[in-house]
Chains A and B, each alone.
Chain A
Amino acid sequence: MRDLGWARMRVLIVDDSRLARMTLRKALPPSLPTEIIEATNGNEAIQCVESSQVDLMLLDLTMPGRDGYQVLQALQDVGRMPPTIVVSADVQTMAVERVMKLGALAFIRKSLNPTELADVLKRAGLL
Chain B
Amino acid sequence: MTASTLSPDKLDALQELVNMGMGKAGAALAEVLGAFVELAVPALDLADRRQVATMLEHGSWANDREVEAVRQRFFGALMGESVMVFDNQAHAELSDLLGHGPDASATERQEALLDLANVVIGACVNGIAEPLNEAVSFAPPARLGGRAEVRGFMSRESAAFGQGLVVNVDFKLEARAFFSRVLVFLPEESIRRIDLAITQLLDGLAAS
Binding site for B on A (CB under 8 A): 16-20, 22-23, 25-26, 62-64, 88-95, 109-112
Contact = CB atoms under 8 A, between A and B. Distances in A.
Contacts of A22: 202, 205-206
Interface size class on chain B is 20 to 34
A30 B188 CA distance: 39
Contacts of B41: 16, 62-64
A88 B206 CA distance: 21
A1 to B, nearest CB: 30
Contact of A92 (B20, B26, B131, B206): B26
B126 to A, nearest CB: 12
Nearest to B15: A17
A57 to B, nearest CB: 19
B16 interface: yes
Contacts of B16: 17, 19-20
Interface string B16-31: 1101111110110010
Residue from A89, A95, A110, A111 with most neighbouring chain B CB atoms (10 Å): A89
A112 B202 contact: no
30 contacts: A16-B41, A17-B13, A17-B15, A17-B16, A18-B12, A18-B13, A19-B13, A19-B17, A19-B201, A20-B16, A22-B202, A22-B205, A26-B205, A62-B19, A62-B39, A62-B40, A89-B39, A90-B23, A90-B26, A90-B27, A91-B26, A92-B30, A92-B37, A93-B27, A94-B30, A95-B36, A110-B20, A110-B23, A111-B20, A112-B131
Contact of B20 (A18, A89, A93): A89
A16 B15 CA distance: 10
Contacts of A23: 205
B121 to A, nearest CB: 17
